[in-house]
Amino acid sequence: MAVTGSTTRNDLALAHPLDPLTAEEIERAVAVLREHRNLGERARFVQIVLREPEKDDLARFEAGEPIPREAAAVVLDGGATHEAVVGLDRATLESWETIPGAQAAITLDEYVECEQAVRADPRFRAALAERGIDQPENVMAEAWTLGAHAEPGDEGRRLAWTPCWFRESLADNAYARPIEGLFATVDLDTMEVLRVENTSDVPVPPPAGAYRHDQVGPLRDDLKPLEVVQPEGPSFEVVGNEVRWQKWRFRVGFTPREGLVLHTIAYHDQDRRRPIVHRASYAELVIPYGDPSPGRFRTNAYDIGEYGIGPMTNSLELGCDCLGEIRYMDVVSHDSKGAPVTIRNAICMHEEDFGLLWKHYDWQADDSEVRRSRRFVISSIITAANYEYAFYWYLYQDGTIETEVKLTGIVLTSAVHPGERPEYGRLVSPGLSALNHQHFFCVRLDMAVDGYANDVHEVHTEGVPVGPENPRGNAFRAVATQLRSEREAQQLIDPLRARFWRVSNPERRNSVGDPVAYKLIPGANVLPFAAAGSKDLARAGFVTKHLWATRYAPRERYPAGEYPNQHAGGAGLPEWTQADRSLESADLVLWYTFGSHHIARVEDWPVMPVARIGFSLMPDGFFDRNPALDVPPPPGHACHSSPNGGGASR
Which of these is catalytic: 175, 387, 394, 518?
Answer: 387
Sheet holding 401-409: strands in order across?
327-334, 340-362, 367-384, 387-396, 401-409, 608-619, 515-521, 500-509, 455-463, 476-482
Q: Are residues 396 and 329 in the same domain?
A: yes
The dihedral through the CA atoms of 36, 38, 41, 45 has a sign that is: negative
Work out the number of other CB atoms within 10 angstroms of the CB of residue 133.
Answer: 18
What is the C-alpha separation between 103 and 75, in angstroms, rounded?
10
Does residue 387 have an active-site annotation? yes
Residue 384 placed within a domain = yes
In a domain, 590, yes or no: yes
pLDDT at 650: 39
Q: 366 an active-site residue?
A: no
**Banded pLDDT at 602 (limits 50, 70, 90):** very high
- pLDDT bracket for residue 386 (50, 70, 90): very high
User: Looking at the structure, do residues 509 and 365 belong to the same domain, yes or no?
Assistant: yes
Is there a single domain that holds both residue 565 and residue 611?
Answer: yes
Distance between CA atoms of 527 and 545, rounded to whole angstroms?
8
Residues 341 and 486 in one domain: yes
Catalytically annotated residue among 303, 446, 455, 604: 303
Q: What is the pLDDT of residue 649?
A: 40
Predicted structure pTM score: 0.95
Give the pLDDT confidence score for residue 266 in this predicted structure: 98
**Of 196, 216, 236, which marks where a domain is finished?**
216
**Total domains present in the chain:** 3
Domain-located, residue 540: yes
Residue 470 within a domain: no
**Domain match, 356 and 397 both:** yes
CATH number, residue 173: 3.10.450.40
Q: Is the peptide bond before 554 cis (omega within 30 degrees of 0)?
A: no
**Structure confidence by residue, pLDDT tens digits, 477-496:** 999 999 999 999 999 999 99
Does 272 share its domain with 324?
Answer: yes
The domain boundary, picked from 34, 68, 98, lies at 98
In a domain, 163, yes or no: yes
**Exposure on the CB side of residue 605, measured as CA atoms within 13 A:** 22
Domain extent at residue 444? 244-289+300-411+436-453+482-619
Percentage of the chain surpassing pLDDT 70?
96
Which of residues 98, 118, 140 is at a domain's end? 98
Reported as a single tens digit per residue, the pLDDT across 545-583 is: 999 999 999 999 999 999 999 999 999 999 999 999 999
pLDDT tens for each residue of 273-293? 999 999 999 999 999 999 999
Mean pLDDT, rounded, for 217-241: 93
pLDDT over threshold 80, residue 3: no
* DSSP assignment of 240-251: TTEEEETTEEEE
CATH of residue 512's domain is: 2.70.98.20
**How confident is the model at residue 63, as a pLDDT?**
82
Does one domain contain both 115 and 93?
no
pLDDT of 150 over the 60 cut: yes
